[in-house]
Amino acid sequence: MSAWTVRPLTEDDWPQVWPWWRETVEAGETYAYPLGSTSEEARALWTTNPPGLTVVLHDEGGEVLGTATMGPNRPGRGGHVGTGSFMVAPHARGRGVGRALGEHVVAWHRAQGYAAIQFNAVVETNAAAVALWTSLGFRVVGTVPEAFESRRHGRVGLHVMHLPLG
Amino acid sequence: MSAWTVRPLTEDDWPQVWPWWRETVEAGETYAYPLGSTSEEARALWTTNPPGLTVVLHDEGGEVLGTATMGPNRPGRGGHVGTGSFMVAPHARGRGVGRALGEHVVAWHRAQGYAAIQFNAVVETNAAAVALWTSLGFRVVGTVPEAFESRRHGRVGLHVMHLPLG
């Protein structure tokens, strides 16, 4: 049985996150973040300001296995809908880290009183992510065709996925 | 026949834009921007950095009747899809200002080589906007339910709208 801890990301965590954050973005299959970002630029992008939050999941030895962001998808009159982003260390995949982070993010939004969670851009060929979010109750609201330039597949769709809460 | 000019927004235009930018956001029917923004905060939000652009449309006398933003919807591997936002001065509505700006934004993206344009959050009860974008060829890809807190209608959906180019 794994003993994982989820807690807010600190500056000290970033050196563990950055190598696989970069590898994931540059691999070109899952995220439309700027390419060629420096470590500092990436940390600024990934660090969510209040009322949002960025967390890490680490194991008993303190090794960071994944990270997630959460918080309002839009300000003002859209602030009752949350959103999130997720990254799992490549060597830790297939062990349920993404699911643990996903459940954490759903529970956080529920506890904070959000009415729903919206993911704006789930790459349709990212089968693991689509299956995970579907298993947590999200449904595809629509798919923007050819909106993501996948390195392997060329232009593929981006799903908008949605989970009502409460 | 109206003689309208569309050109980049300058700092000098903002005092004309700000009163109805604020009025439009605070009216609570069309945009999920932060509520209670200062003029400077709003100007920073509305001013798009290169490769994007913010423009104004003014009449022969120099009065600004509307403004629009344009540019990539996402960075990196999503940068081939553009987006835009639009505001028309309340006293200039119904005269085709929104359509002129919409056509300008579509032409701009086409000229810059974008593959498509995506609007992320068209309020479903904003009938004028939905009808205008539909008449320009956009289609609703999906609707996120209850994602916008309309002052008059309560929680209403946000359309994701999409126009392929080229």
Distance from CA of B35 to the nearest CA of A (A): 5
A5-164 fold: Aminopeptidase (3.40.630)
Is residue A76 within 8 Å of B25, Cβ to Cβ? yes
**Among A128, A120, A123, which residue's Cα sits nearest to residue A158?**
A123
Name the residue among B28, B144, B155 with its Cβ closest to that of A162: B144
Q: Per-residue pLDDT for chain A (166 aa), expressed as one digit of tens each?
A: 469 999 999 999 999 999 999 999 999 999 999 999 999 999 999 999 999 999 999 999 999 999 999 999 999 999 999 999 999 999 999 999 999 999 999 999 999 999 999 999 999 999 999 999 999 999 999 999 999 999 999 999 999 999 999 7
Is residue A109 within 8 Å of A165, Cβ to Cβ? yes
ipTM: 0.94
Measured between beta carbons, which residues in chain A are less than 8 angstroms from residue B82?
Answer: none
Name the residue among B74, B142, B148 with its Cβ closest to that of A121: B74
Q: What is the pLDDT of residue A7?
A: 98
Q: Is the pTM of this model over 0.90?
A: yes
Domain layout of chain B by residue ranges: 5-164
Flag if A141 and B148 touch (Cβ within 8 Å). no
The alpha carbon dihedral of A37, A41, A47, A51 has a sign of negative
Flag if B149 and A116 touch (Cβ within 8 Å). no
Q: What is the pLDDT of residue A129?
A: 97
Calculate the CA B59 to chain-centre distance.
19
Give the count of beta carbons closer than 10 Å to the beta carbon of residue B162: 23
Distance from CA of A71 to the nearest CA of B (A): 14
Question: Which of helix, strand or coil describes residue B68?
Answer: strand
Flag if B143 and A148 touch (Cβ within 8 Å). no
Question: CA geometry: angle at B158 spanning B30 and A144, to 5°?
Answer: 125
